[in-house]
Amino acid sequence: MKNIGEIVGNFNKIEELFFEQTTENIIQLANMVCSEIYGEKVFLRGLIEFSNQCNANCLYCGIRKENKNIPRYTMTNEEIFEVVKKGYESGLKTFVLQSGENNTTLSHRNLCNLTTEIKKHFSDIAITLSCGYFNKTQLKNLKDAGVDRYLIRFEVADEKIYTYLKNGEKLSKRIEMLYNLKELGFETGSGFMVGLPGETDLVLLQNLKLCYDLNLDMVGIGPFIPHPDTPLKNATLQPLEKTLKMVALLRILLPYSNIPATTAAGSIDILGREKMLSSGANVLMPNITPIKYKQNYVLYPNKICINENGFGCIKCLEKRVTAIKKEISFEIGTSKNFNRRIPK
Ligand code: SAH
């Protein structure tokens, strides 16, 4: 592959790569781009799945409202604070608070108070939320309270498939929120699942195009894994290679973005996360949710690390990362895409 400079960050060239190059070649290029920009560093984020209460009924998700087979929980602010404190003492500098979508138990006011409290004690950290939809005023309040980053995947860029998977919800609503996040100065993350029912090559390219148009600071993608307690239980699990190709294309398309090696990849292949890190990803998210809760945050089956203490996960990840000749970084790890977009 010649003229790398012409390929990186150029959607038309990415389309050519998608159809004309082998996955192996695409991955090789993605690795070069990743090393050039982030070196061999892998940033860590402490993931706290603080509530599985959800009012949404997404067809793919194990914590959808109609799944009555799981006990529901919401951690108290004190419990969340304690986990952040322990994470901080272990060296973590970024925390991702993730939950279902539920406006009654998860008021944005409460999230504002929680963030203010955490930031009062730990000022040199970044707080990321991943709690579904909020309107612009609510997002402004969250930003003012100290939330730095927000993750909300668009899941799939095809409107018809999106509406089907999300029970009539409109894709434009999430996209509008993503533009609001950017306007309000959040480090903005989104992404999609790979291997959803109805997905074609064209849809995969649409997904990449939307990430590009949104100029995302963070992009999380992972394989869709059918969950037995959902309407999509009989869907076919696609091979991980499909996700690896998409991660590699994303790295070439959005060279400065932070891209996590997701837990879903590690759940369908024991070396799934390492393979993602060797295909352009540069972030890992140890799950530091207390064990008694994480066992009920089952978005998909066979989710890894749910019987382990997340602080042990950090040690395990260090070994895994060293084995692929990369190194864990305890820096705050702001996206270089964000730094370029909003210079200090
Ligand atoms: N409620 C929040 C967070 C959702 S959970 C929100 O709506 O944004 C985080 C991500 O897990 C989802 O965005 C989705 O992409 C992924 N996910 C859910 N079910 C999954 C499944 N069965 N297989 C793989 N990934 C899944």
pLDDT of residue 108: 93
> Which residues are paired to 193 by β-bridges?
222
User: CB count, 10 Å around CB of 318?
Assistant: 16
The closest of 89, 82, 88, 81 to 113, measured between CA atoms, is 81
Distance 297 CA to ligand 1 centre (A): 11
263-320 tens-digit pLDDT = 999 999 999 999 999 999 999 999 999 999 999 999 999 998 888 888 888 888 999 9
Of 58, 150, 153, the one to substitute when testing ligand 1's pocket (max ligand atoms within 8 A of C-beta) is: 153
pLDDT of residue 1: 62
The yes-or-no verdict on residue 257 having pLDDT over 90 is yes
The rounded percent of the chain whose pLDDT value lies above 70 is 99
The yes-or-no verdict on residue 157 having pLDDT over 90 is yes
CB 52 within 8 A of CB 86: no
- Cα gap 98→293, rounded to integer Å: 12
Q: Which atom of ligand 1 is nearest to the CA of 223?
A: 24
- Cα gap 150→135, rounded to integer Å: 13
Q: Which atom of ligand 1 is nearest to the CA of 299?
A: 19
172-207 tens-digit pLDDT = 999 999 999 999 999 999 999 999 999 999 999 999
Question: What does pLDDT average to over the chain?
Answer: 96
Distance 20 CA to ligand 1 centre (A): 31
Sequence-separated (6 or more) residues with CB below 8 Å from residue 282:
34, 38, 41, 42, 43, 258, 259
pLDDT band of 145, cuts 50, 70, 90: very high
pLDDT of residue 106: 76
Distance 2 CA to ligand 1 centre (A): 37
Pocket of ligand 1 (CB under 6 A): 60-61, 98, 100-101, 130-132, 152-153, 155, 193, 222, 224-225, 227, 264, 299-300
Distance 120 CA to ligand 1 centre (A): 30
Residue with the smallest CA separation from ligand 1 atom 8 is: 132
Sequence-separated (6 or more) residues with CB below 8 Å from residue 134:
108, 142, 177
Distance 265 CA to ligand 1 centre (A): 13
Distance 293 CA to ligand 1 centre (A): 17
Of 60, 188, 211, the one to substitute when testing ligand 1's pocket (max ligand atoms within 8 A of C-beta) is: 60
- Cα gap 223→241, rounded to integer Å: 10
Distance 299 CA to ligand 1 centre (A): 6
Q: Which atom of ligand 1 is nearest to the CA of 220?
A: 15
8-64 tens-digit pLDDT = 999 999 999 999 999 999 999 999 999 999 999 999 999 999 999 999 999 999 999
Distance 302 CA to ligand 1 centre (A): 15
pLDDT of residue 60: 98
pLDDT of residue 198: 96
pTM over 0.75: yes
The Cα-based distances of 33 to 11, 100, 184, 217, 280 in angstroms read 15, 34, 29, 16, 8
pLDDT band of 344, cuts 50, 70, 90: confident
| Phi and psi torsions of 47, nearest 5° | -95, 125
User: CB count, 10 Å around CB of 215?
Assistant: 15
